[in-house]
Chain A
Amino acid sequence: MFRLEARTSTPAWFNLALPLLAIAATLVLCSGLIAIAGAGVVDAYGVMLSASLGDSYAITETLVRAAPMIFTGLAVAIAFRAKFWNIGAEGQLLAGAVASCFVGAIPMPGYLAMLLMALAGAAAGALVALVPATLRVKFKVDDVVSSLLLNSVIYYALMALIEGPWKDSFSGYPISPPIEDSANFPVLMEGTRLHLGVIVALIAAPLCWFLIARTTLGFRIRVTGENPEAARYGGINVQRVLLSTALLSGALAGLAGVGEVGGVHFQVMSDISPGYGYSGIVVAMLARLNPLGVVPAAIFLAAVMTGAEAMSRATGVPAFLSDVIQGTALLAMLVALLFTAYRIRRVGAPA
C-alpha cells in the first residue's frame, strides 16, 4: 500500500526533475492517442523532433515560435509570484500588437520606430492588465475571471478594428495595413525568420530573474504573493505591489504582441496569436514560476507546435495533438507539483 506523507522540505533538484517528469508523463500519455490515430508512436515523435529541432532552420523556426511564449510565460510567472492571477496575457498580447502596429505604420527612421513600437506595445499591455488589478484592489473583484473575460473584450475590439477602419479597402480582407518596411525587425540569419525580437525575449528572461531575485520590488512581489498579511505588517504597500506587478506583467505580454507584428506578420490579423497568452500559463507552470525556466519551457512548447504540423503531414495524426500535449503537460505539471509538498511512502500491508 502507498500513501502520501507531508514533506518538511523540498530538495532543489525537484525544480528540474518535476517539469521533466511532467513532460515525460505527457509524451507517454499522448502516445496512446497517436496509436489510436493509427500511426507509429516512435515514428510520430521522431518526425516531431526532427521537424522542430532537427536542423538549424528548424531550430530557428522553433525559436521564432518560442519568443512570444517566453514573453507571455514571463508575464504569467511574475504575476503568479505575487498571486495576481493574470489569465489575460492573451488580451494583453493582442493590445500590444495593435498598439505597435499603429506606431509601426507611421513613417520614421527604423530604429526609432522599433523602439516606439516596443514602448507602445508594452504600455498597451500594461494598461489592459491594470484593469483586473485595479478591480481587485479597489473592489475585490476576482482577477481570474476579470482578466480572462477581458481577453474576449480585447479580441472583439481587435476584430472590430480590422473589420472596420483598418479593413483593406482594396482586397477586402480583414487585416490591418502593414507597418513601414523600415520598422520590420532585422533578420539575424539570412534565409530564416529569426528576428531581433527573439534575442530581446532571450535577454528578457534573465532580466526578469534579476528583478524577482535581486531587487526590492522583486522581494516585495515574492513576500506579497506568499503572505500578504505578513507583507502588510512588515510595511509593504500590498496594493501598490499588486498594481506594479500587473503593469510589469501586462507590459511583458504586450511585448509578445510587438514581436509578432514587428518580426513575423508585419501587420495585425484576427489569428495573429494561436493562444500564445494561454500557452504562457503552461510555460510559467512548467518553469515553476522561475523566469530562467521560462526559456526552456517555451522552447519545448514551441517545438511541439512546429513538430506537430510536420507530424500531421507525415503520419496523418491531426495537428491538434499539439493542443492536447499542451493541456496534458499543464495537468501533468499540476500533479507533479503535489510532490513538492508530499512524498509517496510505502507502508506495510493492511492488517
Chain B
Amino acid sequence: MSAPLIEMRGITKSFGAVKANEAVDLSVAPGEILGLLGENGAGKTTLMNVLFGAYAPDAGEILVEGRPVAIHNSADALAAGIGMVHQHFHLAPRLTVLENLLIGIPGKSGRIDRARGLARLNEIGRQYGLSLDPNLPVSALSVGEQQRLEIIKALFRGAKLLILDEPTAVLAPSEVDGLFAALRSMATQGLGIIFISHKLNEVRALTHRCVVLRHGKVAGRVDHPAQTTSAEMAKLMCGHEIVPPTKEASSPGAAVLTLDGISTSGHAGTPLRDVSLSVRSGEILGIAGVSGNGQRALADVISGMLPPRAGAMTIAGKAVARFSPRELQALGLGRIPEDRMTTGLVTNLPLADSMVLPRIGTEAFSRKGLLNPAAIRAFAEEQIKAYDIRCPGPMVRAGALSGGNLQKALLARELAFDPKVLIVSQPTRGLDIGAARFIHEKFLAMRAKGCGIIVIGEDLEELLMLSDRIAVMYEGRIAGTLPSADATVARLGLMMTGAGHTEEAA
C-alpha cells in the first residue's frame, strides 16, 4: 500500500470531563475505504471534526501526505484536500444545486462563474456517476439527493479524502446501493474515504479496513472486514457479545386492531387504497415495502393523524369514530412515530414534558386543569431509571439526548400505560446495536404480555426477526401477507416490487 493520504496520531479531545477521543491513531491510504465504527457516543463524529478543523485537539497531530499540518477550520481542511459530509447537511434550501456548489467560490472579478461551475459539475457527474439537475432548488431534493450534493460539493472543492458521517442513517436501502457504487468508483480513482456507520453489514460490504472506537479509544482494528463476522465486530464495538433476543412461541388471541377497507386522500405521500388487516393480541405484524408505498399513510391513519376517506377501524373490539389521537389513546393504542425529533418530542422543552405530553390531561398528571409537577417529575424519573435513559435528569432539554435515548423515552411514555396495541415506524433507525437490541427486547416482552404490535420498517432482517406475520405494501395496497416462517428476504423483496401476490386473510 502507498504512503498514507492522511494520518492522525495520538489524537485526544475532551469536553469537560468527557474524554471524547483518547490517543487515537488512524490513517487512510489513497484508494482506500476506511470504516470507522463505534456505538453512539463512541467519539466518531468528534474525531472527524478534529480532522476537519471544527475542534482543536488537546493533543496529537495530523499529517497530510506525510507532512504535519495545522487545521484550524474547514477552509484549512479543504485546502489540505479533506472534505466532510456531516450527519446534518449544510445547504441553502432556497438556492439551486449549482448555486450551493458555488457558495464561497469567487470567479473572475468577484462574480460567480456559472459556466465553469457547470462544466466541473458535469465532469464530476461523468467521473463518479454522481449527477444532479443543476437548476433544481435544494428544497426540492430528497434527502438522498441532498447527500449527493454534499458529496459533489466536497469533490468540487478538490477533496482527496472524503469523510462521510453516518451517511446511510438517512437513506432507504435502495439509495444505499447507489451511494456505495459511487464511493467504490471514487476509491478506484484514488480518493481516500472514511465511512462512519454502526451498521455492520454495510461496513463489511463496503470497507477495506476498519477502526473500531469504544469510549473514545481504539478498541480494535479489522484488516479484512469482508472476512470478519458481524458478531466479532459487534463484540469489539460493545465490549461484550451481542446475542439476538429469543422469540418465544406465542399463541395469539383475539384481534386487537382491525382495519377494514381503509382508503385515504389528502396526504402528501401515497394514499391507502382499500387496506384491510388485523393484529391479534400477542402478535407482531411486520409491514414491509419499499418506502413511499403508503406506509406513511398507514401509520398516520392508525395513529390518528389522518382520518381515512373510507373504511372502518376497531381497537380492542370498539369501533373508532373520530380518528383523533386522543380517542385512539383512550381506546388503548400506543404510538411511536417515525420521526422522533419532529413528531415525537418537543426538543426545546424539558424531557419530562415530552414524556407526559400525550397524557397531560389525564388524572395521572393533572387535575381540573392544574398540572401536578411532582407527579410529572416522578414519572419521568421513574422511566429514566427503568429504561436506563442516559441523561442528566428529567429537566434536561429533550433535544440534548442521543437518538437511542430519545427512542427509549418515547417507548417508555407509551408502554407505561400498558397499550393493547402498539404501532411503531422504523423503530431502530439510526440506533446502535445495543440500543436496537433493547428496543427489540421490549417489543418481545410486550408481545408476551399480550400486546398486539405493528412494526412498519425497511430493515427486512429486523422484521423477519421480530414478526409473526409480515404484510407487504405496494402502491398503497397490501400486496400480500406471509407468516414469518415462510418469508425470506428474497421472497419479500419480490413481493415488494409488486410481483408474486400471495393473498391470505390478513
Judge whether B73 and A347 touch: CB under 8 Å.
Answer: yes
A229 neighbours in B (Cβ, 8 Å):
342-343
Judge whether B371 and A223 touch: CB under 8 Å.
Answer: no
Please tell me if A56 contacts chain B, counting CB pairs below 8 Å.
no
Judge whether B400 and A230 touch: CB under 8 Å.
Answer: no
- Measured CA separation A216–B358 after assembly (Å): 12
* B352 nearest CB across to chain A (Å): 11
Please tell me if A222 contacts chain B, counting CB pairs below 8 Å.
yes
Please tell me if B349 contacts chain A, counting CB pairs below 8 Å.
yes
**B373 is contacted by which of A3, A214, A226, A348 (Cβ under 8 Å)?**
A214
* A8 nearest CB across to chain B (Å): 6
Please tell me if A233 contacts chain B, counting CB pairs below 8 Å.
yes
Judge whether B72 and A350 touch: CB under 8 Å.
Answer: yes
Instruction: Give the dominant DSSP class at A's interface.
Output: helix
Judge whether B354 and A216 touch: CB under 8 Å.
Answer: no
Please tell me if B222 contacts chain A, counting CB pairs below 8 Å.
no
A8 neighbours in B (Cβ, 8 Å):
400
**A351 is contacted by which of B70, B345, B371 (Cβ under 8 Å)?**
B70
Please tell me if A192 contacts chain B, counting CB pairs below 8 Å.
no
Q: Mark A219-239, 1 if CB is under 8 A from B, else 0.
A: 110110011011111111000
- Measured CA separation A129–B325 after assembly (Å): 29
Please tell me if A9 contacts chain B, counting CB pairs below 8 Å.
yes
A-side interface size class: 20 to 34
Judge whether A233 and B400 touch: CB under 8 Å.
Answer: no
Total chain B interface residues with beta-carbon distance under 8 A: 36
Q: Mark A238-277, 1 if CB is under 8 A from B, else 0.
A: 0000000000000000000000000000000000000000
Judge whether B349 and A223 touch: CB under 8 Å.
Answer: yes
- Measured CA separation A215–B370 after assembly (Å): 4
A235 neighbours in B (Cβ, 8 Å):
304, 324-326, 329, 358, 361
A220 neighbours in B (Cβ, 8 Å):
360
Judge whether A234 and B400 touch: CB under 8 Å.
Answer: no
- Measured CA separation A230–B56 after assembly (Å): 37
Judge whether A230 and B371 touch: CB under 8 Å.
Answer: no
Please tell me if A217 contacts chain B, counting CB pairs below 8 Å.
yes
**A9 is contacted by which of B72, B303, B346, B396 (Cβ under 8 Å)?**
B396
Judge whether B346 and A232 touch: CB under 8 Å.
Answer: no
**B370 is contacted by which of A214, A231, A233, A347 (Cβ under 8 Å)?**
A214
B360 neighbours in A (Cβ, 8 Å):
216, 219-220, 234
Judge whether B72 and A233 touch: CB under 8 Å.
Answer: no
Judge whether B56 and A215 touch: CB under 8 Å.
Answer: no
- Measured CA separation A80–B289 after assembly (Å): 42
Judge whether A233 and B349 touch: CB under 8 Å.
Answer: no
Judge whether B72 and A230 touch: CB under 8 Å.
Answer: no
Which residues between 81 and 121 of chain A lie within 8 Å of chain B, taking CB atoms?
none
- With CB as the reference atom, state the residue of chain B lying closest to A220: B360
- With CB as the reference atom, state the residue of chain A lying closest to B361: A216
Judge whether B358 and A214 touch: CB under 8 Å.
Answer: no
- With CB as the reference atom, state the residue of chain A lying closest to B366: A216
* A291 nearest CB across to chain B (Å): 16
Judge whether B56 and A348 touch: CB under 8 Å.
Answer: yes
Please tell me if B337 contacts chain A, counting CB pairs below 8 Å.
yes
Please tell me if B76 contacts chain A, counting CB pairs below 8 Å.
yes
A219 neighbours in B (Cβ, 8 Å):
353, 360, 366, 371
Judge whether A233 and B369 touch: CB under 8 Å.
Answer: no
Judge whether B346 and A215 touch: CB under 8 Å.
Answer: no
- A215-B371, A216-B361, A235-B329 known; A227 vs B353 contact (CB < 8 Å): no
Please tell me if B378 contacts chain A, counting CB pairs below 8 Å.
no
Q: Mark B397-412, 1 if CB is under 8 A from A, else 0.
A: 1001000000000000
Which residues between 160 and 174 of chain A lie within 8 Å of chain B, taking CB atoms?
none
- With CB as the reference atom, state the residue of chain A lying closest to B349: A226
Judge whether A216 and B343 touch: CB under 8 Å.
Answer: no
Judge whether A230 and B329 touch: CB under 8 Å.
Answer: no
**B371 is contacted by which of A216, A231, A233, A350 (Cβ under 8 Å)?**
A216
Judge whether A233 and B325 touch: CB under 8 Å.
Answer: yes
B304 neighbours in A (Cβ, 8 Å):
235
- With CB as the reference atom, state the residue of chain B lying closest to A347: B72
Judge whether B337 and A9 touch: CB under 8 Å.
Answer: no
Please tell me if B87 contacts chain A, counting CB pairs below 8 Å.
no
**A223 is contacted by which of B305, B344, B357 (Cβ under 8 Å)?**
B357
- A216-B361, A235-B326 known; A227 vs B346 contact (CB < 8 Å): yes
A236 neighbours in B (Cβ, 8 Å):
357
B73 neighbours in A (Cβ, 8 Å):
3, 347, 350
- With CB as the reference atom, state the residue of chain A lying closest to B339: A229
- Measured CA separation A235–B373 after assembly (Å): 20
6 sampled A-B residue pairs with Cβ under 8 A: A3-B73, A227-B347, A230-B345, A230-B354, A233-B343, A348-B72
Instruction: Name A residues whose Cβ lies closer than 8 Å to a Cβ of B.
Output: 3, 8-9, 213-220, 222-223, 226-227, 229-236, 347-348, 350-351
